[in-house]
Amino acid sequence: MSDFSLKASVRNDLGKGASRRLRRANEQVPAVVYGGNKDAQSIAVEKTAFYKAIEDESFFSSVITLVIDGKNEQVVVRDLQRHPYKPLLTHADFLRVDATHEITMNVPLHVTGEEACVGIKDQDGELHVLANEVAISCLPKDLPDYLEIDISNAEVGTTLHLSDLTLPAGVTSVDLSHGEDHDNAILSVTKMKVRATDEDEEEGGESESDSEGEEDNSAE
């Protein structure tokens, strides 16, 4: 599990106008932290470290230490709001976590072994990734940065499901906990479709027009 820490301060100046002023100052990102049997608290997160952290995929599936005016809170990201066309964060939601209670998170799915995959390398197949994330439940200490599945031995016609994943100790699949009917497909290797080239299409067009011409001549 990755180790992320962000500095923040309590916001007492609230409202949309206050948030706009905070964003214009361009030093902090307005946010809220809630949950854990405590009241929701409006905060401002140091911008530079925050922007750097979100470049790392594992940030979104990690327990983060928020240092709010010197006091630590263990949280996970629940939502990020972004500017519609500028590369800016406009607001963040953090959920407090309790070391003794399980949390539910979506974690990235990484596919390995594609270069050695039998179906792709030897059988002219192609990979179709059907899920980029997997919903899991676990204690905060067991939260993985991502899940991994190896397709080295997958042949054409292979479809892998959630039940084919090897989950770390203490981690369960949210979907599978609802029964076998929720064993969703996560990837497949299928025969590569043969696409007509431009030359083939042109030849086809010429032959069609030629045949029409021949029919017209015969009618005369």
Asked whether residue 183 is assigned to any structural domain, the reply reads: yes
Q: What local confidence, expressed as pLDDT, does residue 100 receive?
A: 93
Q: What pLDDT, on a 0 to 100 scale, did the predictor assign at position 204?
A: 57
Query: 111-167 pLDDT, tens per residue?
Result: 999 999 999 999 999 999 999 999 999 999 999 999 999 999 999 999 999 999 999
Residues 121 and 70 in one domain: no
**How much is the pLDDT for 80?**
95
What pTM did the predictor assign?
0.77
Distance CA 178, CA 118 (A): 33
Same domain, 87 and 29: yes
Last residue of some domain: 41, 75, 96?
96
Which residues of the chain fall below pLDDT 50?
A: 207, 209, 219-220
Report the number of distinct structural domains present in the chain. 2
177 shares a domain with 132: yes
Structural domain contains residue 203? no
Contact 151, 111 (CB under 8 A): yes
Residue 66 counted as domain residue: yes
pLDDT for residue 4: 95
Rounded to whole angstroms, the Cα distance separating 158 from 148 reads: 17
Report pLDDT for 88: 85
- Own/partner long-range contacts of 74-79 (Cβ < 8 Å, ≥24 apart): 74/99, 74/140, 75/33, 76/103, 76/105, 76/140
Residue 60: give the domain boundaries. Answer: 4-96
